[in-house]
Structure 1
Amino acid sequence: MARRALILLEGTRSNGLLYVQAAQRLGLHPITLSADPTQYDYLAAERLEAIHVDTDNLDALIGECSRLRATYDIAGITSAQESFYATAGKLCRYFDLPGPNPESVERCCDKFVQRQLLAEAGVPIPAYSLAANATDVESSAAEIGLPVVLKPAVGIGSSGVRLCRNVDELAEHTTYLLGGKHIWRSSPRILVEEFAQGPHYLAHIMGNNVIGIEAADFEPPPHFVFRGTILPALLTDEEHQHISEVSLSCLRALGLGWGPTCIDFRWTKRGPVVIEVNPRLAGDAQLVQLAHGVDLAAEHIKLIIGEEWDLRRIHSHTATARYLVADRDGTLDWIDGGSRAAAVPGVAEVKLYVEPKTPIIRKGDYRDCIGYVFAASPDRARAEAILQRAVELINWSITPFPASAAQERSSVP
């Protein structure tokens, strides 16, 4: 009998290993298809099967999956990365496997189209406009009113996203986005958005079930780099219900509701305003398991392979995360304390992404995170205290680049 395999298109440094480990626990052999398997350190570390293939070429992927079917029983195909989730859906459709609607995923991944569909459905969102050039950006910002957020219409991980508080910052970031420094996966289109101000929340959803709502905060502006999160968020029953109802409205408007979704909100004077809908697990999906005992990666895989999932909460703890973010550009001299932090009772996981002598060049997005600490406890105050104690044990030193070298390096404005 052929070995059952789960095909994973690309991976992520946050959830890629989660899917691999969940697949193995379910008795599946994970195989990653990637344009560059070396970018995922867990593949080599865990000695996992990975195949080099052009993941932007659907025909090449069909050919590779067809070849694999000669050796394996392909139980399912998916991706932890939203950029390839629609492609995974197309492969599922081709091979007659359960999967998401690729058209719905593609519409969701285009932030302008997403905004249009949400607006048509009456979902509360920030004022927005689409711009193709500097003149469009300037006129859109004037109409919406500063401050505004500029972001690529298609992109992930807050890459290219910036809060522009005045006309100088607006011009500077427009030049960065359109001047050849930002890498576009599609034709350059900029979304100009009203800056929705208020506490930030994120809803973890599987199918049509809101599993949990967490609170998050960011590093200082102008960029949107996560600093920390806590699950569950301190919300009244009415506030929780309101966010849940708006979340389900988003799913209906975008034709989602199969598999995972995470939705970012700001709680403004108008109540919850949708910042972004993402057709994937959140980057900190482990917190849901720590807080509620629900392994979202495993339950998603069960759906993928046609088995019945179980989304029931096993317990009610508080799970919290702190993301370690570099405070300057330069060369990392040393970083230590990870093992001491991991030994603190109540710490669930410590991950350091960087090694000494690594050049640190901040981008103003998810790549600025050099590590994280997760902690959990049945008691909320205790969970926060555990996290703080562990974080204080981790230290690092960065030597700034020499002035001449720093001038040659490009960074986000």
Structure 2
Amino acid sequence: MDDNGAHIGADGGPGTDGVILLIGCGMREYREYLLAGAAAAHPVWLFTGEEPDWQAPYLTGHTVVDVTDRAAVLAAARELAAHVPVRGTLSWDETLIVTTAHVAEALGLPGAGVDGVEGCRDKFRSRRVLTEAGVAQPRFAYVDTAEEALTAAAEIGYPVIVKPRGMGASIGVVLAADAGEVAGAFRTADEASQIGAVPYRSGALVEEYLEGPEISIDAAVVDGEYHPLFVARKQVGLFPYFEEIGHHVAADDPLRTDETLLGMVRAAHRAIGYRHGITHTEVKLTARGPVIVEINGRLGGDLIPRLGQLATGIDPARAAVRAALGLRPDFTDTEHRTVGIRFGYPPEDCEVRSVLPPTEAEGLLAAEAIAEPGTELRLPPNGYLARHSYVIVTGADPAETDARLDAAAALVRLDATPLAVPVPA
């Protein structure tokens, strides 16, 4: 520990290259591969709410600070920069990307810009900005009450999507097929917003339902120039909710070079003013063309960047570090595969006793339990991301990959006790 309360790693310090400041880290199961990749690309200093555990071997140093307190994080960043050269800032936590943008601005470092990140984080603001710029958007309205939601839905036309203003991972997103379902959908979205960041709590967006498959594009943005890394095809389930139960990435996916799609996404990034960093853009492929669902100012979740790395060889963590430094990443494919992931969900709300993933299956690359014994898993709307496991496989093409995912997921053994479902208030 130095005399300012910051903890320096065993290598004795960052040296002349300085450090990348990583704000928050996330769960080991989902983010360790990114931390390892970032540390291999550049020395990493972590701002964390508690003493590092599994993260420690990858760190040059760390500072314990309440990462949810923006003022405390800014003060700690200024203090760190006074003693350690900070070359860039980075976060892959949805709830911390706005704070990270403020830190980059305060330290004069490359970053997305506060306006650019707010254009991602605030879904209502994003809708307004992109619509004004002429980027294809669903019809939408922001509402504060169930009555306003009902009026908006009638004007937009059924079915509609009702979702929180500032959540991620499809949490609180509900399909309302008719007027009788709007009040319940609004309540679900409004309640889900209460666990998110304070500026985006309460109310909901009511949006036109878009028919068609959904994809996501992870990309690096350097000095406002958009560079796609890989495209993921999304699988959703647990209707009428939109839990993301799987994805697949193909190195030869034609959408990686589709000029209509990429032209629209580039226009969207220009409209929100995103400067430096990584984004994860979700798009519906509709009969009228590609339409943006949302832009997220971070790498994708659900291990999508890991799938991209396995499929193309492009290291997403290294790309994120270079973008944070204001440098263009390397976009050269070194792998040419199709890779997919499937998450295991219980058939009902339950308490986990054990999860046993398979050790062998056709094309299996990884299989992990992600719910410890004693974990309560509750399905929407009583809970979200109620996952007990995942399997990752590779196949010759998307169809074979999906078939292998079905087979590998069927081999997961879940032992659990059913839970009583709470009665809605």
Q: TM-score surpassing 0.5?
A: yes
Bigger shift: residues 321-330 or 51-60: 51-60
For residues 6 and 308 of structure 1, the distance between their equivalents in structure 2, rounded to whole angstroms, comes to 16
Q: Name the counterpart of 2:287.
A: 269
> How many angstroms does 1:43 deviate by?
3.9
- CA-to-aligned-CA distance 1:116-148 (integer Å, 9 cap, x gap): 111112111111011111221110011111211
In the TM superposition, 1:100-249 aligns within 5 A as 100-178=112-190, 182-185=194-197, 186=199, 187-207=201-221, 208-232=226-250, 240-249=258-267
Q: How far, CA to CA, are the matches of 2:287 and 2:122 in structure 1?
A: 27
Per mean C-alpha deviation after superposition, the further-off stretch among 308-317 and 153-162 is: 308-317
TM-score (norm 1): 0.86
Q: Any conservation in 2 of the 1:163–1:223 contact (CA below 8 Å)?
A: yes
1:10 corresponds in structure 2 to 24
> Per-residue displacement from partner, 1:52-100 (whole Å, max 9, x unpaired)?
4232333311222244346644333211123321221221222222222
Scaled by the length of structure 2, the TM-score of the pair is 0.84
Partner of 2:376: 359
Equivalent residue, structure 1, for 2:7: none
Residues 43 and 232 of structure 1: CA distance in aligned 2, closer, same or farther (over 3 Å): same
CA distance in 1, matches of 2:53, 2:413: 23
With 302-311 and 156-165 compared, the bigger mean Cα shift is at 302-311
Distance 1:391 1:282, change over 3 A: same
CA distance in 2: counterparts of 1:367 and 1:220, whole angstroms:
11
Instruction: Decide which moves more: 389-398 or 226-235.
Output: 226-235
- Asked whether the 8 Å contact 1:5–1:31 carries over to 2, the reply is no
Q: Give the 3 Å change call, closer, same or farther, for CA 180–371 of structure 1 in structure 2.
A: closer
Pairwise CA RMSD of aligned residues? 3.0
* C-alpha distance in 2 between matches for 1:181 and 1:57: 19
**Distance change in 2, residues 1:159/1:384 (3 Å):** closer
AA of the residue aligned to 2:372: E
Cα distance in 2 between the residues matched to 1:306 and 1:220: 40
CA positional deviation for 1:181: 8.6
Q: Which moved more, 1:381-390 or 1:233-242?
A: 233-242
- 1:278-297 equivalences under 5 Å are 278-283=296-301, 284-297=304-317
Aligned length: 401
Distance, in Å, in 2 between the alignment partners of 1:289 and 1:332 is 31
* CA distance, structure 2, for counterparts of residue 222 and residue 289 of structure 1: 32
Shift of 1:184: 4.7
* Matched residue type, 1:191: L
Inter-CA distance 188–381: structure 2 relative to 1 (3 Å threshold): closer
Q: Shift in Å at residue 379 of structure 1?
A: 5.1
Greater shift, 79-88 or 112-121, is seen at: 79-88
Matching residue of 1:24: 39
Alpha-carbon distance change, 234 to 75 in structure 1, aligned in 2, over 3 angstroms? closer
What amino acid maps onto 1:268 in structure 2?
T
Q: 1:334 and 2:351 equivalent?
A: no
1:251 shift after superposition: 1.1
Deviates more, 1:24-33 or 1:221-230: 24-33
CA distance in 1, matches of 2:154, 2:397: 47
In 2, Cα distance between equivalents of 1:213 and 1:241: 14
What is the identity, as a one-letter code, of the residue corresponding to 1:201? Answer: I
CA distance in 1 between partners of 2:146 and 2:401 (Å) = 47
CA–CA separation in structure 1 for the residues paired with 2:70 and 2:414? 43
Q: Percent identity?
A: 25
Residues 260 and 300, structure 1, Cα contact 8 Å, conserved in 2: yes
Structure 2 residue runs of 5 or longer lacking an equivalent are: 1-11
- Partner Cα separation in structure 2 for residue 221 and residue 42 of structure 1: 36
Distance 1:202 1:306, change over 3 A: closer
Q: Would you say 1:303 and 2:323 are equivalent positions?
A: yes
Distance 2:416 2:344 in 1: 13
Structure 1: tracts of 5 or more residues without a match: none
What is the CA–CA distance in structure 1 between the aligned matches of 2:296 and 2:230, rounded to whole Å?
15
Contact 2:34 2:316 in 1 (8 A): no
1:329 is displaced (CA, Å) by 0.5
In structure 2, C-alpha distance between the alignment counterparts of 1:393 and 1:6, rounded to whole Å: 41
